[in-house]
Amino acid sequence: MNKNSVSSATLIDSFKGVTDNTFIPPDTNGAIDQTYVVNAVNGKVQVNSRATNDQLYSATLNEFWSPTGMIQPGTVNAFDPKILYDASTNRFFMVSIAGSTAPNYLLLAASEPGNPFTWTYHAIDASVTEENGRGDLWADYPNISFNTEFLYVTANMFISGDGFDGVKVWVFNKSDLYDLISSYVYFYNPDSIGFTTVPAQVYSEETTNQYLVSADFPNAISLYRIFFDSGEHFWKVLPSVRVDRFQDPPNASQKDSTQGIDTGDGRLLQAVYRNRSIWTTHAVASDDGRRAEAAWYQIDPVSSTVIQQGRIRDGSRSFYYPSLAVNAENHVVVGFSGSSPNEYASAFYTSRLGTDPAGFTQPVALMRQGQASYFKTYSGTRNRWGDYSATMIDPADDSVFWTVQEYAVRENTWETWWGVIRLS
C-alpha cells in the first residue's frame, strides 16, 4: 500500500438481495435506477424499493419470460440473466437464454421508463445462422451492453452434441426494443473473435463506437470495435493488448470443508468504457497456482496498450467472480466473492481513486461474512458458484457505487447481498 494513500471507501448501506432458490450457479446480477433495485438471478427476478428495501415484486425467471411464449417449464427454461439500467432512456434492459439445446432463443426485454414492472419482450431464434445454414446451434453465457443508440449482445455458440462452435454478436437499435419490432444485425465468428467476447458498457456522453474484449491466454487481451457508418455496422479487429501472464484460477478453499469452490475460468467477466479507457476484470491463478485472484486492467483502445493493471490478492484467501464500475473521476470499485481455509464464502469489495498509484487498490473490505460451508453440484462434480456478479454506478450520484455479491448463508445455501459504497 502506498504510504500516502488514504482509505476512501465507506459502506453506507448493505442489505439482503435474493435468497437461494435451489438454482446453481445463481448467476448473481442486478441493476438500479433512482427508485428501484432489481435482482435478476437464475430462477428469480425481484424488485425492491431503494428507499425502504421492501420487496415489491417477485417472480421465477421462467414466469418473467413467459410473455415471450418460448418457456416450457421442465423442457425449455430461462437461464443466464443479465440486466442493465440505461439512464439516458430511464429504462432497464434484460437478457437471458431459453433452452440448452437447439432450438434455442435469445430473450430480450426493455422496461417502460422508470417502471421495472412493465416490459416489452422479444425472442430471437439463436439456433440458425446464414453462415452454416444449420439450425442446430444454441447460445450460452450472454453479455449485454449499450451506447447512445444501440444495444449489443454476445453469446458463446455450441453445436448440440458437438461442443463449442463460435461467438455470435447481435446489434439492436434500442428504439426497436421499446415496441414489438425486433430487427437486428449480427456477426457470427467475425475475424479473430475469442471465446466469451464481452461488450464494454459505454457511457452515453462519450462515443457511439462499441468496444469488445476477450481473454487471450496466456498474456493478452483481444480487442475489437464495432462502428456504425453510412447505415451499416462494421467489425474491426484491433491489435491485442499485452498484459501480465494469467491462467485459469484453481478451486477456492473454504472453512469446514474439503470441497473446493468452483471459481470458473479465466474468461473476462465484465467490461466498462469510460473516460476513453476500457476497464475489465476476471479471476486468475496466483503466481504459485494455489489461490484465485481478481485481476483488473485499464486499457487504451486507441494505442492498444495497457495503461495500468493490478491483482487483488491475499496470502490465504481466494477471490473470484469480480465485477467493477468506474465513475467520471476514474474512481473504481471492484466487488467479488472470497474464501479461505479459515473463512466461509463471503462477499468483499475494494476500491481505488483515480489519483492512486498505477495498479493500486485499497485493502480488501468485508461486505457480508459467510456463515457456513457450501457444496452444490449440477449434473457433475463441480461445486458451482458464480458465474458472475454485478457492480454499477448510482445513476443519482456518480460518487456512489452499488455491488451485488454472493455469500454462503447456511450450509450448502447461497444468498445475494447488496452493498452501497461511497468514494470521496
Concatenating the DSSP letter of every residue in 27-78 gives ---EEE-SSEEEEEETTEEEEEETTT--EEEEE-HHHHHGGGS--BTTTB-E
HSE (side-chain half, CA atoms, 13 Å) at 170: 27
DSSP string of 69-96? Answer: S--BTTTB-EEEEEEEEETTTTEEEEEE
Cβ atoms within 10 Å, residue 208: 13
Using the structure block, give the residue that is written with the C-alpha cell 454506478: 393
Q: What is the pLDDT of residue 2?
A: 41
Q: Among 213, 364, 393, which residue's Cα sits nearest to residue 294?
A: 364
Q: What is the pLDDT of residue 209?
A: 84
Do residues 353 and 8 make contact, with C-beta atoms less than 8 angstroms apart? yes
424 alpha-carbon distance from chain centroid: 25
Determine the Cα–Cα distance for residues 292 and 280; give it in Å rounded to an integer: 17
Q: What is the pLDDT of residue 206?
A: 58
Three cell numbers written together for 288: 504459485
3-state DSSP: the chain helix, strand, coil percent, rounded to 5?
A: 5, 55, 40
Q: Among 293, 185, 143, 305, which residue's Cα sits nearest to residue 238?
A: 305
- Please determine, for residue 6, whether its predicted confidence score (pLDDT) is greater than 60: no
- Residue 67 backbone phi and psi in degrees, to 5: -60, -15
- Please determine, for residue 128, whether its predicted confidence score (pLDDT) is greater than 80: no
3 exposure class (CB count in 10 Å sphere: 0-12, 13-18, 19+)? exposed
The distance in angstroms from the start CA to the end CA of the chain is 18
Determine the Cα–Cα distance for residues 346 and 340; give it in Å rounded to an integer: 10
Determine the Cα–Cα distance for residues 36 and 112; give it in Å rounded to an integer: 13
Q: What is the pLDDT of residue 96?
A: 98
Q: What is the pLDDT of residue 3?
A: 43
pLDDT-above-90 percentage for the chain: 87
Three cell numbers written together for 274: 469510460
Determine the Cα–Cα distance for residues 150 and 176; give it in Å rounded to an integer: 10
Determine the Cα–Cα distance for residues 143 and 167; give it in Å rounded to an integer: 11
Q: What is the pLDDT of residue 134?
A: 64
| Mean pLDDT in residue range 209-231 | 95
| Mean pLDDT in residue range 334-345 | 98
Q: Among 363, 350, 286, which residue's Cα sits nearest to residue 324?
A: 350
| Mean pLDDT in residue range 234-239 | 97
Which amino acid, one-letter code, is at 340?
S
pLDDT in tens, 7-63: 589 999 999 999 998 899 999 999 999 999 999 999 999 999 999 999 999 999 999
Domain ranges of the chain: 1-27+246-424, 60-242
Q: What is the pLDDT of residue 4?
A: 45
Q: What is the pLDDT of residue 242?
A: 98
Do residues 97 and 107 make contact, with C-beta atoms less than 8 angstroms apart? yes
| Mean pLDDT in residue range 136-165 | 92
pLDDT-above-70 percentage for the chain: 96
Confidence of residue 185 (pLDDT cuts 50, 70, 90): very high
Find the range with the poorest average confidence among 6-15, 70-79, 233-242, 315-324. Answer: 6-15
pLDDT in tens, 400-420: 999 999 999 999 999 999 999
